[in-house]
Amino acid sequence: MTRFFAWGTFLLGCLFFALPLIGMTEFSLKMRRGEYSFDAYRRVFEDQRFWDTFSYSLILAAATIVVGVLLVVPTAYWVRLKLPQARPVIEFITLLPLVIPAIVIVFGYIRLYNTSSFLPLTGSALGTDILLTMGYTTLALPYMYRSVDTGLRTIDVATLTEAAQSLGAGWITILSRIILPNVMVAVLSGAFLTLAIVLGEFTMAALLNRPAFGPFMQLLGANRAYEPPALAVIAFAITWGCMGLMQLVTRFSKHERAKA
């Protein structure tokens, strides 16, 4: 009886998740009247703006990941090693982006860093790109911090540090040669999640007027019929790819550890 209900619930849920995926795939193939074709995809790939915005978002994602790692790894390490009393505060701050909507944060950016402010970041394209990168870092902060902090929990930070120090290593060496490799899996899973978030992000990029992938998709959606579902399929594939890589990294590391 329990099993019957369990299967029923599960299958109904699966149906709910499968239908939109089937729907968008089917629709994206219907561009040519009367037969299935990849015309919509060809159109998307022929569009120069697709490649421009996609590579722009990709570069921003890479920048976000670098900034995130440089920010989160030393901080999480330092808090574990020397400042456990700062932990609640840091954790609270890293969770704030889940509570404060992204649109509110970017609204603050626009008003705070306008051309007449102390830090006129929105005055130039590069400045805005930097601001957008910081915004994405903020959005990714909760996931990145938790991932790295959990990774640090599994290694004995204090002992590793003392051992490295007794061998004459400095802080930079300790962080880059000892700590980072040990939390690499956590960093990578945080990185792939960041990639997934940044590639599809719309609000911040749109409001800062940057040519990112998210606003491009929205623009196409407002003007075309068959390309949007093709884009949705592509976006879904990218998200799936990021998550798949995340799992792969975790599984690979477990395998490595099992061998050791």
Partner 1 sequence: MPKQTGGQRLRLPLEWLGILPFVVFAVLFLILPTMKIVVGAFQTPDGGFTLQNLLDLNTPSIRSAYWTSIKLSFVTALLGCAIGFAMAAAVVFGGMPKGVRNPLVTFSGVASNFAGVPLAFAFIATLGPVGLVTVWLRTEFGINLRAMGFNLLSFWGLVITYLFFQIPLMILIIIPALDGLKREWREAAAVLGATGAQYWRMVALPILFPSLLGTFALLFANAFGAVATAFALTGPQLNIVPIKLFAQIRGDVLGNPNLGYALAFGMIVITALANFLYIWLRVRSERWLK
Q: State how far the Cα of 91 lies from the Cα of 114, in Å rounded to an integer.
A: 30
Residue 225 exposure: Cα atoms within 13 Å on the Cβ side:
6
Is residue 196 involved in binding partner 1 (CB under 8 A)? Answer: yes
CB of 222 to partner 1, least distance (A): 7
Among 123, 239, 245, 253, binds partner 1 (CB under 8 A): 239
Q: Could you tell me which of 63, 69, 138, 141 has the C-alpha nearest to residue 108?
A: 138
Is residue 90 involved in binding partner 1 (CB under 8 A)? Answer: yes
Structure tokens at 86: 């700062």
Q: State how far the Cα of 248 lies from the Cα of 111, in Å rounded to an integer.
A: 42
Stretch near partner 1 under the rule CB under 8 A, chosen from 49-57, 148-156, 159-167, 201-209: 201-209
CB of 59 to partner 1, least distance (A): 19
Is residue 38 involved in binding partner 1 (CB under 8 A)? Answer: no
Is residue 172 involved in binding partner 1 (CB under 8 A)? Answer: no
Among 56, 174, 201, 249, binds partner 1 (CB under 8 A): 201
CB of 221 to partner 1, least distance (A): 5
Task: Rank residues 123 and 221 by Cβ distance to partner 1 and give the closer one.
Answer: 221
At 224 the three-state DSSP class reads: coil
Among 135, 140, 157, 174, binds partner 1 (CB under 8 A): 135
CB of 100 to partner 1, least distance (A): 6
CB of 68 to partner 1, least distance (A): 10
In terms of DSSP H, where are the helices of the chain? 2-28, 39-46, 48-81, 87-99, 102-112, 125-153, 157-166, 171-173, 180-182, 184-200, 203-207, 213-223, 227-259
Among 55, 154, 165, 247, binds partner 1 (CB under 8 A): 247
Is residue 231 involved in binding partner 1 (CB under 8 A)? Answer: yes
- Tell me if 167 sits within 8 A of 94, measured CB to CB: no
The pattern of x and - marking residues 97 through 116 that bind partner 1 according to CB under 8 A reads xxxxxxxxxxxxxxxx----
Is residue 31 involved in binding partner 1 (CB under 8 A)? Answer: no
Stretch near partner 1 under the rule CB under 8 A, chosen from 53-61, 148-156, 176-184, 232-240: 232-240
- Tell me if 244 sits within 8 A of 187, measured CB to CB: no
Is residue 182 involved in binding partner 1 (CB under 8 A)? Answer: no
Q: Which helix (H) or strand (E) holds 210?
A: none
Q: Could you tell me which of 176, 171, 254, 233 has the C-alpha nearest to residue 24?
A: 233
Task: Rank residues 59 and 96 by Cβ distance to partner 1 and give the closer one.
Answer: 96
Neighbour tally for 200: CB within 10 Å: 17
